[in-house]
A and B are shown apart, each in its own frame.
Chain A
């Protein structure tokens, strides 16, 4: 036994020495962004790394993606993954590499910045961090690798007027104005509910999730009162947070259980704010037992597929066009950091090449509701703004005065849920 391990350790040490003897390049930032940095992380065997000297020719440009969930989660991460495929299709030479399940529960002992370096060592020159929870990692990585373009989806580190502006020359942000998608979802729910009770399956509590839940409520309340002519006070809207973007057994509340609780206590429409499709699956189950319930999933254009018969539709992200733009700019050397909060293309919110946010209707949406929903969408397209006073916070303090319209800053950093919503505003 001793000998075995002796031999093994000698081999290990040899391999380490060999690796250490490779000429280590200076980590100084290179001034030409298209030049592949001579970083010491590049494996010797790699033949894929392009020798970028003539940017005019269509050649391989590798971009990396860190996905917080599984690439096929039918939710947030799959929407990003599909956007990567879109980029490969639309930008000549673009090639995606990715790591999914980038979170400390699924990949113990790793950090996002470390995994990003793995992507860089495989040739990536632009890395997309796809979760709010990777903020620290994205920023640390951007600082340590000035030659790599970092896109942090859903963050605000590149927003000059924002609260967390970092001013890093290689860090950009992109987010969709999903508030619109959520308003449409809320409207669809309000037009459908028979009990007047809408449940919102929330992830964890932060600025983003608060404003999305609030937008859903605004859409629901508008259609409830304006289209159905009912009293807003009769609309119950409850948010239950599970603690994370998807179920982590033993760590988060079980979203299946939360959805069940909603359906069992009179909530007949559940709108999902999490990255996975438990709400829809449970609605399907309850429907099978003869209960008339509906659900609205989130994030991913194909999310309704798991339960067409109970799906009212899905608000989804379409990251492809923006990512294609960034990759094209990176190839051309014209990329500049920016904070992009991109809305739908109001000419056609489901145009795959122009609209960052969309809503596809589900089979369970009635014809009447569908027509009214179209009306709501055209009102939004015409400039209807639901972030308009008078609006109060959940605790009754005023948010917007009569006629006052919320700024981007006020919406992005919404500090509380709104009056009329049930559920926690701040994590305890």
Chain B
């Protein structure tokens, strides 16, 4: 359906969607008695204005991209893996766990970090498998299963931080005791972004791109996503494919959690997922599940998040405005897609 319409019509409708989203966000700002142009300028300067700012954008980009990558797999399989947030959180918990167990051992820090990543991936997969099990054998819609598991993941985090993993003598919302610096992902000098997390993010999306666009697995997964029954009748083992989709998404979400622990916070904090799971769902919807656009659009969203911090400093505006813009963009794109399909059908 999308492929058959002309490229130019698509372009015009996408452009309209962006204009619509910007107009809506501007309207919100005008209502808040703020100058939209100044706000946009501040967001741009605050995200791309210096190499430090841009490196902070990358820090947000990597886990967001990993979450998006995972979600592309479940979306392709026709699954709404809303439990991705909890899967990120469990990844972070497993990574923290591995580091806590190994931090005083004689293993080299590099090896401990690698084990941390693997544990994170395992944690994400474990959490996803619960949702998968409920969905596939229990008939529980993955949206409800995922939501439930998200709550459990949050509760587990809080319990760990204020309970068994609390700092000596005190429980603190600032999280567990930070790991020693040898266990931090090494960063570029003076910046917060680690080349290793960049590598993981880029390899991650590349793997997903190839998997979904260039393999039989991807093709069959698409078939499962489009019409599960037809796919089954054509001989595709749909159960296995759904399991694979959930586990892959969990793996990527777990890696995102591991990056948050190893490369960003260096400890477990209460909201360790930073909402990247939900944001990743927006990104995936916005790009209409095409992996090629995950990287730039995730970058754009990350830049909005980082750049919007300028708003309260400079303009006394709340920085949740970036969320308004992100939400408006997704809604506008979906809306315009609907409008386009209606119009084209009429012709």
Binding site for B on A (CB under 8 A): 1-5, 8-9, 12, 15-16, 19-20, 22, 24, 27, 40-45, 97-100, 103-105, 107-111, 114-115, 117-119, 121-122, 132-137, 204-207, 243-244, 250-251, 415, 426-428
Contact = CB atoms under 8 A, between A and B. Distances in A.
Contacts of B264: 109, 111
A427 B171 contact: yes
22 contacts: A1-B10, A4-B11, A4-B18, A5-B293, A12-B48, A19-B49, A20-B51, A40-B52, A97-B313, A99-B312, A100-B312, A104-B173, A104-B274, A105-B270, A105-B271, A109-B264, A118-B46, A121-B53, A136-B178, A207-B170, A251-B154, A427-B170
Given A111-B264, A118-B310, A133 B173 contact: yes
B192 A104 contact: no
A206 B168 CA distance: 10
Interface in B223-255: none
Interface string B254-283: 000000000011010111111110000000
Q: What is the predominant secondary structure among interface residues of chain B facing chain A?
A: helix
B270 A104 contact: yes
B314 interface: yes
B174 A42 contact: no
A4 B15 contact: yes
B14 interface: yes
Given A20-B54, A105-B270, A115-B309, A9 B296 contact: yes
B245 to A, nearest CB: 25
A134 B275 CA distance: 21
Nearest to B305: A109
Interface of B: 7, 10-11, 14-15, 18, 44-46, 48-54, 56, 59-60, 151, 154, 158, 162-163, 166, 169-175, 178, 189-190, 192, 264-265, 267, 269-276, 288, 292-293, 296-297, 299-300, 303, 305, 309-310, 312-314, 319
Nearest to B45: A43
Contacts of A119: 313
Contact of B44 (A15, A42, A105, A427): A15
Nearest to A415: B169
Contacts of B7: 2-3
A42 B45 CA distance: 10
Contact of A133 (B158, B174, B192): B174
Contacts, number: 149
A428 B54 CA distance: 41
Contacts of A9: 296, 299
Contact of B309 (A4, A41, A110, A132): A110
A108 B309 contact: no
Contact of B166 (A20, A24, A427): A427
B51 A40 contact: yes
Given A16-B54, A135-B174, A251-B154, 10 more contacts: A2-B292, A5-B293, A44-B49, A100-B312, A104-B274, A108-B276, A109-B275, A118-B309, A121-B53, A206-B171
Contacts of B190: 27
B8 to A, nearest CB: 9
A1 B319 CA distance: 28
Nearest to A4: B14
Contacts of A114: 56, 192
Contact of B50 (A8, A19, A99): A19
Contacts of B299: 9, 12
A44 B297 CA distance: 26
B142 to A, nearest CB: 21
A421 B182 CA distance: 43
B274 A109 contact: yes
Given A97-B313, A109-B60, A119-B313, A426 B54 contact: no
A109 B300 CA distance: 15
A301 B313 CA distance: 25
A328 to B, nearest CB: 23
A376 B189 CA distance: 57
Contacts of A24: 51
Given A43-B50, A114-B56, A122 B11 contact: no
Contact of A12 (B52, B60, B269, B296): B296
A121 B309 contact: no
Contacts of A118: 46, 309-310, 313
Nearest to B267: A136
B162 A427 contact: yes
A1 B175 CA distance: 42
**Top 4 A-B pairs, shortest CB-CB distance:** A427-B171, A109-B274, A108-B274, A206-B170
Contact of A207 (B50, B169, B319): B169
Contacts of A107: 309, 319
B123 to A, nearest CB: 19
Contacts of B15: 4
